[in-house]
Amino acid sequence: MKSLFDVPAPAKLNLFLHIVGRRADGYHMLESVFMLIDWCDTLHFDLRPDRTISREDLSTPLPADDLITRAARALQVVSGTAQGVHIGVAKSIPEQAGLGGGSSDAASTLLALNRLWELKLSLVQLQQIGLQLGADVPFFLHGHNAWVNGIGEQMTPITLPAARFVVIKPSVGLQTARIFSHPDLKRDTGTATILDFAANEFDFGHNDLQSVAQLLCPSVTQALDWCGERGLKGKMTGSGSAVFARIEGDLEIGSEAGFLIKPCRNLAAHPLQGWAEK
């Protein structure tokens, strides 16, 4: 049976990630640019009339209570709807990569179910739910490439030129908590502005998590070396093990044992932009 909604959930790259401080409650303050790319998971939604939320893994097995089911349940509780859903999940974005796959899945779930269940919740209301699920979820709901501040909840839309990238994901992943709790993590990078970024765009800044990630996961260094050997400027994205580089001109991507290598393009906007009223 064809699903009522078949929706994409795109990944993102952090073009840079600076840690500029730490709040009293332990949360790290950051500056970053989040950029959507055309590497997507696909979610299939079928209406159920019995309030049951069920999930079918069509590719990679997921934990029983992942961000998708948690998002559906949170929306059900907030809205009080008597409807349920069966969700088929075709995963493509790897986990523990720093690509935001789980958060993107949660955001697409909230947007799709808001329509499927005819809830008519606003984008602001969905973002409030999303922030309880994870710091990156509001970005994917936001729908724009963005300059990001705070703990990830403050976003200013930006426009980026079309560009091509290659993402290199080692077979091993990295847990966010291991990096952010590491004593060697730099937490005092000076603040920047959107104008600083605009002067350099894809070559601006660095990822403060990268040096710690290389200590914890030698495969990150190997992925960076893969880029360097091809004349590319590699940089880690987010807090996972994936590395990315901008591609200009022709490049033979090929394959490499122990790595998932994915060419991609950036997106001007989220494919579900406009699915919720502002």
Catalytic residues: 12, 136
Phi, psi (degrees; rounded to nearest 5) at 3: -70, 150
- Asked whether the beta carbons of 89 and 43 are under 8 A apart, the reply is yes
How far is residue 59 from each of residues 56, 69, 163, 262, measured CA to CA in Å? 9, 16, 29, 18
For the chain, strand residue ranges (E) read 5-22, 28-48, 53-57, 84-90, 146-149, 154-157, 164-170, 235-236, 243-247, 259-265
Please count the CA atoms within 13 angstroms of the CA of 220 that sit on its side-chain side.
24
Expressed in angstroms, the distance from the first to the final Cα of the chain is: 33
Residue type, 143: G
CB burial readout 257-275, b (16+ within 10 A) else e: eebeebebebbeebbbbeb
- What percent of the chain is helix, strand and coil (3-state, nearest 5)? 30, 30, 40
